[in-house]
Structure 1
Amino acid sequence: MREYIDPVIVFLEQWGWIPMIFIYLGVIITILIENRNPTKTISWVLVIVFLPFVGLILYYLFGQKFSKVKKMKRINHEQSLRLKKEFQRLEPLMLWSIRNIHSKIGDLSRVYAYLKNEKLSTPTLNNEVTLLNNGEEKFPVFLASLEAAKHSIHLEYYIFDIDTIGTQVLELLEAKAAEGVKVRLIVDSFGSPKLVRYFRNKKDSLIEFQAFLPVTFTSLANSNYRNHRKIAIIDGFNAFIGGINISDRYINPNSHKLYWRDTSVQIKGNAASMFQISFWNSWNQTEGEPFQLDEGYIKETAIVSEDLSAVAIASSDPGSLGPFNMEALLISIGEANESIRLCTPYYIPTDELATALKSAAAAGVKVELMVPLEGDSWIVQHASLSFLKPLLERGVQVYRYKRGFLHAKTAIIDGKIAYVGTVNLDFRSFYINYEVAAVISNKAFCKSMEDQFELDKQDCELVTLKEWKKRKPWKRGIDSLCRLLAPLL
């Protein structure tokens, strides 16, 4: 046996580099002909070249454009065709709503026209919106809404922990299902592995449960695509959206001893129909038994607010025709006249977003960006820091939140329009993950958002260009190295 193995080993030692070169060239050529974003292309080439073997594994797991994306695009197209007639029927009402919104907020209303034209959402006016900061504000309202459910409960979450709040929600869902309420639950299989195992072993559950994009050995290459959404729809007219997952970590104080600053919003009214459609789209991409929206899941409400309460949703996923969430935000940034206030835990911007913010600041718009002082990912944190200096040089005011971890994903433009959702200001949220955001125009709500931003600034340190330039060279070097991976994070 040894006489047979030795020549093989000798051959590999002398000539093994030849097939490896062909493998490397094949992978690099594949990346080039996929016509990716040039920055992302260069990043993957650098990873593969400078991290032998490891780079190939990383590319296999996270870099390839798999047939799964083609399937996602096909599903999106099919869903759009199914909704086409409904959008055509609502066209006159949507145009009337947009004119109404324009009369109150001017050209900022263009984002609602964009969402209509891309058939992402119908702009609705009959809504009530309530700002819910942190888990300690959200969960009491959330649990009360679940308790009051009469027809259906639809939940879609990235993280659903089986801890104190998670167990409380599960028990309530089982109780409501026993009462005859239709309960459907989608969680991301990567974000909620314990819950996936829980339902795998619980055969008597009345909850219709689905794990989104299950992660198995054969599907590791597709594990890069995650469902990062956090939405709930109760009885077709009561919806929740924001950055808050179902976990004790989001409730202050908590056993993790880390203050968690996050934002959610409760929306009652016709806009909940758009969240219902979003959930329906996700459910149709699982193995769950199909249901029809006209089976009582869409409710038209008679809510009429004295103040304009316009709500639409922006959603995107790997199969989207474009980075819809980024484009929706860019439209509002481009129309800003007075102020732009952004909160994000991860600032790894696309060139388009970075240029828009710097241009707005240079044009005299007050641009403020709030990020965590300490992130929850070492590489992501340092990559984010590398993008701050160009902003400071153009007059953007950068605040680093130091009380705890800032996880809120929000934007307020001119105090007239607000974004609250699951979308981070990074490549992953814009291009890879399943994401969703509510686009809200309500005077009182936007005022509450701005008041909270000002309150959070008291727990921040303001970054100045002068002080930033004094950072030690080795720290700036680490930032720059991590930045090379930015398009891949």
Structure 2
Amino acid sequence: MEAVWAFIKTYYFIPLALVYIGVIATILLENRNPAKSLAYILILLFLPGIGLVVYFFFGRDMRKKKIFSRKAFKDLELSGAYFNNYFEASGTQLLKMEQQIGDLVQPFRLLYQQRQSFVHTGNKVTLLTNGEEKFPALFEALEKAKHHIHIEYYIFSRDDVGERITEILLRKAAAGVKVRLIIDDSGSNRIKDIPKRLRMGGVEVYRFMPVHFASLSQANYRDHRKIVVIDGLVGFVGGINMDDRYLNNQKHSLYWRDTHVMIEGSAVKALQFQFFLCLGFVSKQQYELEPVYFPDREDEPGEGNISIAASGPDSAYPYNMEVLLSAIHQAKKSIRIVNPYFIPSDQVLTALQMAVAAGVEVELIIPGKSDSFIVQHSSFSYISPLIARGVKVYLYEKGFVHAKTMVVDGEIAFIGTVNMDIRSFYINFEIAAIIQDKALCRQMMQHFADDISHSRLIDAEAWANRPRLHKFTDSVCRLLTPLL
């Protein structure tokens, strides 16, 4: 028996211990966010074997660098050619905007200085609430396509909406329109045979980072964007996926509240540019930015000034988080946020507390009931410090609020795919439109007031007196947030 035990120690425990010591040392040397490092170390220590597998497939930053290093290099080449044409004109526009909105120009300036986006002027922006408004507008725009249709989506399902879009795309491809579709392999797990049918009809279809056993390490990085570009003239972006549930009809019992925008004008070029960056990555081809995909309009259809914030695990910095922080720091009157997965970084949490402490009215709407138990309770763990400082937090009760929006001082609006959590800020590919448009902001403020009418304001005393089991559940779920 002693010999067996000696054999086990020599050939199992000691090598395993050395592996664990090496992995923990690697985690520490990577100098990650301390909470994330601690979460992985705890999993390794308390779930031997399982923890090692979880870290191997999902936790290694070196694998991320290997996956995206080539993409970042190609992106840099494309970006240089793209920005050189517009850099000077955009700088002049920033000065004009500063005269109109003062320090709220900072998010636009940040993206400009980091060569991430220039300011696009003269855009018409149409606010689309829920699938009831988004899908009819999208179907109509797709039907008018003459040269190309580009779609990049997280969720594309084979249901009534998916079938209608598929029918339009096949018909347009048969008529000579160039149609390209990028779908996230994980998010679009209910698309079934649609990709096969589209390819047979002449549509280019690409799956973003397909997930199978040999590529489980890629499963953590998802394309969460929702982009449609038609003829380089019309673009759509926001939180609404290609799925029936957003129609709020009799087929689904749960009401889904979401926000999207249709953009007509020069800002569509920025959405097009981001689509081509992703297209080059998924197709492993190099594309020229041909003028036919970036047409100039003779008119300026609207008054909206727009910048596009795009970020992902290949980004040098978390640009979507940075533009949100920049706007929060410049707020003078009000900040109104709607977000379904509110698990804020320390920076965002502190910024909101500082804003309300400085006299800014800060209001936040989150779901009263989420589609994720862990996310819901993680979100709840952040509420107490916010309401203690004076932030008004509402729980949406009409259904599930999935919109990802922010309006600051009634002057600028953020509408996109970005959740206020670590995954959106650092891990997923995300996109948002930062918009200066008075009419749009008024609409957004009206919609926020309507959403509040379907929400319950959290009472600080009642929240503090919740059952200890609820508080304990929130705290346990919060420990998992660095890994979500």
TM-score clears 0.5 = yes
Distance 1:303 1:32, change over 3 A: same
How far did residue 194 of structure 1 move? 3.9
Q: Secondary structure of the residue that 1:126 maps to in structure 2?
A: strand
Find out whether 1:94 has 2:90 as its counterpart: yes
Q: Secondary structure of the residue that 1:104 maps to in structure 2?
A: helix
Equivalent-residue separation in structure 1 for 2:75 and 2:92 (angstroms) = 25
Equivalent-residue separation in structure 1 for 2:98 and 2:361 (angstroms) = 22
Q: Out of 93-102 and 284-293, give the one that drifted further.
A: 284-293
Partner of 2:357: 362
Q: Secondary structure of the residue that 1:233 maps to in structure 2?
A: strand
Equivalent-residue separation in structure 2 for 1:262 and 1:192 (angstroms) = 19
Partner of 2:314: 319
How far did residue 225 of structure 1 move? 0.3
Distance 1:300 1:139, change over 3 A: same
Distance 1:469 1:185, change over 3 A: same
Q: Secondary structure of the residue that 1:149 maps to in structure 2?
A: coil
Amino acid at match of 2:467: K
Q: Which runs of structure 2 are paired with 1:106-145 in the superposition (5 Å)?
A: 106-145=102-141
Amino acid at match of 1:171: E
C-alpha contact (below 8 Å) 1:127/1:303 kept by paired residues: no
Partner of 1:337: 332
Q: Secondary structure of the residue that 2:466 maps to in structure 1?
A: coil
Equivalent-residue separation in structure 2 for 1:303 and 1:196 (angstroms) = 42
Could you tell me which of 133, 149, 161 is aligned with 1:165?
161
Distance 1:196 1:71, change over 3 A: farther
Partner of 2:79: 83
How far did residue 323 of structure 1 move? 0.4
C-alpha contact (below 8 Å) 2:415/2:433 kept by paired residues: yes
Compute the TM-score of the two structures, normalised by the length of structure 2: 0.96
Find out whether 1:226 has 2:222 as its counterpart: yes
1:54-106 deviation line (CA, Å, top 9, x unaligned): 22222222211143434424422332233324423322210121112112111
Equivalent-residue separation in structure 1 for 2:54 and 2:91 (angstroms) = 47
Q: Out of 261-270 and 52-61, give the one that drifted further.
A: 52-61
Equivalent-residue separation in structure 1 for 2:81 and 2:180 (angstroms) = 26
Equivalent-residue separation in structure 2 for 1:305 and 1:339 (angstroms) = 29
Q: Secondary structure of the residue that 2:19 maps to in structure 1?
A: helix
How far did residue 256 of structure 1 move? 2.6
Amino acid at match of 1:236: G
Q: Out of 77-86 and 385-394, give the one that drifted further.
A: 77-86
Equivalent-residue separation in structure 2 for 1:193 and 1:202 (angstroms) = 16
Equivalent-residue separation in structure 1 for 2:271 and 2:208 (angstroms) = 17
Q: Out of 188-197 and 431-440, give the one that drifted further.
A: 188-197
Compute the TM-score of the two structures, normalised by the length of structure 1: 0.95
Equivalent-residue separation in structure 2 for 1:384 and 1:47 (angstroms) = 22
How far did residue 231 of structure 1 move? 0.7
Amino acid at match of 1:160: F
Partner of 2:394: 399
Q: Secondary structure of the residue that 1:318 maps to in structure 2?
A: coil
Q: Which runs of structure 2 are paired with 1:428-467 in the superposition (5 Å)?
A: 428-467=423-462
Equivalent-residue separation in structure 2 for 1:404 and 1:305 (angstroms) = 35
Structure 2 runs not aligned, ≥5 long = none
Equivalent-residue separation in structure 2 for 1:437 and 1:47 (angstroms) = 34
C-alpha contact (below 8 Å) 1:126/1:301 kept by paired residues: no
Could you tell me which of 50, 54, 64 is aligned with 2:50?
54
| Identity within the alignment, % | 44
Q: Out of 272-281 and 28-37, give the one that drifted further.
A: 28-37
Q: Which runs of structure 2 are paired with 1:460-475 in the superposition (5 Å)?
A: 460-475=455-470
Partner of 2:275: 279
Partner of 1:411: 406
How far did residue 13 of structure 1 move? 8.1
Equivalent-residue separation in structure 2 for 1:130 and 1:202 (angstroms) = 29
Equivalent-residue separation in structure 2 for 1:290 and 1:87 (angstroms) = 18
Equivalent-residue separation in structure 2 for 1:83 and 1:64 (angstroms) = 28
Q: Out of 293-302 and 167-176, give the one that drifted further.
A: 293-302
Partner of 1:237: 233
Amino acid at match of 1:355: T
Find out whether 1:33 has 2:38 as its counterpart: no
Find out whether 1:178 has 2:168 as its counterpart: no
Structure 1 runs not aligned, ≥5 long = 1-6
Equivalent-residue separation in structure 2 for 1:296 and 1:441 (angstroms) = 27
Equivalent-residue separation in structure 1 for 2:201 and 2:16 (angstroms) = 51
C-alpha contact (below 8 Å) 1:209/1:288 kept by paired residues: no
Equivalent-residue separation in structure 1 for 2:212 and 2:193 (angstroms) = 13
Amino acid at match of 1:29: A
- Give aligned pairs, total: 483
Equivalent-residue separation in structure 1 for 2:462 and 2:54 (angstroms) = 37
Partner of 1:297: 293
Q: Out of 51-60 and 193-202, give the one that drifted further.
A: 193-202
Equivalent-residue separation in structure 2 for 1:207 and 1:441 (angstroms) = 36
Amino acid at match of 2:122: N
Amino acid at match of 2:180: R
Equivalent-residue separation in structure 2 for 1:196 and 1:278 (angstroms) = 26
Partner of 1:152: 148
Equivalent-residue separation in structure 1 for 2:321 and 2:413 (angstroms) = 14
1:7-27 deviation line (CA, Å, top 9, x unaligned): 879944897333332222122
Aligned-residue CA RMSD (Å): 1.9
How far did residue 150 of structure 1 move? 0.5
Could you tell me which of 470, 473, 476 is aligned with 1:478?
473
Partner of 1:4: none
How far did residue 169 of structure 1 move? 0.2
Q: Secondary structure of the residue that 2:86 maps to in structure 1?
A: helix
C-alpha contact (below 8 Å) 2:257/2:401 kept by paired residues: yes
